[in-house]
Amino acid sequence: FAQGEELESTDPEGNGRKRSRKKPKADPDDIYEYDDIEAGLHGSSGRESTVIAGVDEDGWQRTPLKRKRSEKPEKKETSGINLLPAKKKRFLPVLLAFGIIAVGMIYWVVSSQARENAEIQLKESMDIAEREFFDGHYPQAYQALLEADAALQILGVTDDRAKTVREMKRQADAASHLLDGSVMELVETAALTLRETSESQWKEDFSVNFEGRWFVMQLSVPDSVTERSRLNYDWIVDGWPIQLDGLGTIATWAVKKGGMKEILCAGRLQNCRRDRKAGNVWVVEFDPRSAFLWTDEASLIRQNMIPVFDDSIATAMRKLVKKQREIGDAPPPPPPLEEEEEPEKDDVSESDDGETEGDSDE
């Protein structure tokens, strides 16, 4: 390697003069490589050798390579996204279109098959429901009607078939959990329990034996009825009248829709209690969302609500059922339950329990 040192040499002409020369300084970052021929001339082993540019001992002028020692090959930065060639890009919209068409065809096939199955299920379920309902097997009829209703949901049907299924389903549910006896007998049971035990005992008995069960009732409806009105039940127990709460919505619907003075309705029980705050009355509470007008004549005959012989009572009941069937069972939404609840009433009843029992004993 050239170190830039002075070298002495004899003038080739023999004048004995010494002249000195300096090797050109080389940039330490400039390098070049011997090829195989030069490696043989310089006695190299043929391996690559890196030599600093300049003039070697033999006076050979070496030209440096342009590459710097510190330089590295540049790498092109990529965003990590493999871009498709131009030809592939042209086919991308076509592929997307084919994909959308394929998905649409699959959806159409699946939807068509589902609708076809729903039609079959609706027919089979209705055949079973009508047979079981007519025979008085209401729990079995209710299960079949649930399947029929699910099929109607798939088909999106809102015609007379949907109305029939809805009416039969309500009536089958009510008939499956119908209480034996009347509202009067329920209140008499409550009065007896309260006289002999306590308010808490009656609440427990009601929860076990009566809550969630159904009544079918024939009631008079005043013209002034509202959705929040309590309907009067024509009976008195222990000197207290009976009022029915939660049936105002269906009664209002019957008056506005058909001008009815009397209704035959069903409702699911929620509570039976004494209410001194309202003027010493018995209050039988029904779920307002459950109330509906009864429209099946055969089930009423089976429940002995319509006599089998053709008398004036049976004729009046049949006319009433026919009128309610014309009105339909689509009442407006009931008022919110939160606004109807009066939690302080139970507290008042409990606090006055002892006094009431004392009055009864006297």
Answer with the residue of higher pLDDT: 14 or 200. 200
pLDDT surpassing 60 at residue 50? no
In this structure, are 172 and 200 located in the same domain? no
In this structure, are 172 and 187 located in the same domain? no
The pLDDT, as a whole number, for residue 236 is 92
pLDDT band at 356 (very low <50, low <70, confident <90, very high): very low
In this structure, are 229 and 354 located in the same domain? yes
Structural domain including 212 reads 183-361
Tokens 């427990």, residue located: 204
Give percent of the chain above pLDDT 90.
31
In this structure, are 253 and 328 located in the same domain? yes
Among 109-118, 165-174, 199-208, which stretch is predicted with the lowest mean pLDDT?
Answer: 109-118
CATH number at residue 154: 1.20.58
- Average per-residue pLDDT for the chain: 75
Residues in contact with 53: Cβ distance below 8 Å, sequence separation at least 6, in sequence order: 26, 27, 30, 31, 32, 62, 63, 64
In this structure, are 18 and 125 located in the same domain? no
In this structure, are 328 and 226 located in the same domain? yes
In this structure, are 162 and 191 located in the same domain? no
The count of structural domains within the chain is 3
Structural domain includes residue 210:
yes
Q: What would the two tokens of residue 33 be?
A: 């490589």
Answer with the residue of higher pLDDT: 99 or 149. 149
What are the residue ranges of helices labelled H in the chain?
Answer: 36-41, 86-134, 138-155, 160-176, 183-196, 199-209, 248-258, 297-302, 312-327, 337-340, 344-351, 353-361
Structural domain includes residue 124:
yes
pLDDT surpassing 70 at residue 98? yes
pLDDT in tens, 178-196: 998 899 999 999 999 999 9
In this structure, are 193 and 169 located in the same domain? no
pLDDT surpassing 90 at residue 33? no
SS3 275: strand
Structural domain includes residue 102:
yes
Nearest to 252 by CA among 154, 327, 189: 327
In this structure, are 190 and 335 located in the same domain? yes
pLDDT in tens, 107-116: 777 777 777 8
Judge contact between 152 and 115, C-beta under 8 A: no
Tokens 């003039």, residue located: 55
Structural domain includes residue 83:
no
Q: What would the two tokens of residue 251 be?
A: 């009664």
pLDDT in tens, 295-313: 888 888 777 766 666 677 7
Structural domain includes residue 84:
no
pLDDT surpassing 70 at residue 11? no
pLDDT in tens, 324-355: 888 876 554 445 545 444 444 444 444 444 44
Q: Considering the entire predicted model, what is its pTM?
A: 0.60
Residues in contact with 178: Cβ distance below 8 Å, sequence separation at least 6, in sequence order: 213, 214, 215, 216, 303
Separation CA 61–CA 63 (nearest Å): 7
In this structure, are 349 and 316 located in the same domain? yes
SS3 178: strand
Answer with the residue of higher pLDDT: 74 or 321. 321
In this structure, are 132 and 220 located in the same domain? no
